[in-house]
Amino acid sequence: MGSILYICICNAVTEREVYAAIDAGATTVKALNRQLGVGAECGACVGCAKACLSNKQTATTSPSQHIFPIAQQDIGMTLR
């Protein structure tokens, strides 16, 4: 069985729950606080929550290594 990583000990919020909230649209620590209670008590988890947000943003905005630029003239040639 896999281990559980707690992001917020005070409110027993796991990494899986944080990423699920981010996938559902949370984009800030404040949004994670409203949805999950992250950072509502001692605040020690805020850095981890920010890291999760940053990791997810980087993963979703990084261009794939399989995407190649196509010049407009190449598109016209392909459509003919």
Within-domain flag for 75: no
Within-domain flag for 69: no
Residue 24: the pLDDT is 96
Q: Can you give the three-state secondary structure of the chain, one letter per residue?
A: CCCCCEEECCCCEEHHHHHHHHHCCCCCHHHHHHHHCCCCCCCCCHHHHHHHHHHHHHHHHCCCCCCCCCCHHHHHHHHC
Domain with residue 47: its CATH number is 1.10.10.1100
Alpha-carbon span 71 to 50, nearest angstrom: 38
Within-domain flag for 47: yes
Q: Domain range for residue 18?
A: 6-63
Within-domain flag for 25: yes
Within-domain flag for 78: no
Within-domain flag for 31: yes
Within-domain flag for 76: no
Whose CA is closest to 39, among 14, 9, 17? 9
Q: What is the pLDDT along the chain (80 residues), one digit of tens a residue?
A: 678 999 999 999 999 999 999 999 999 999 999 999 999 999 999 999 999 999 988 876 655 554 555 555 545 554 54
Structural domains counted in the chain: 1
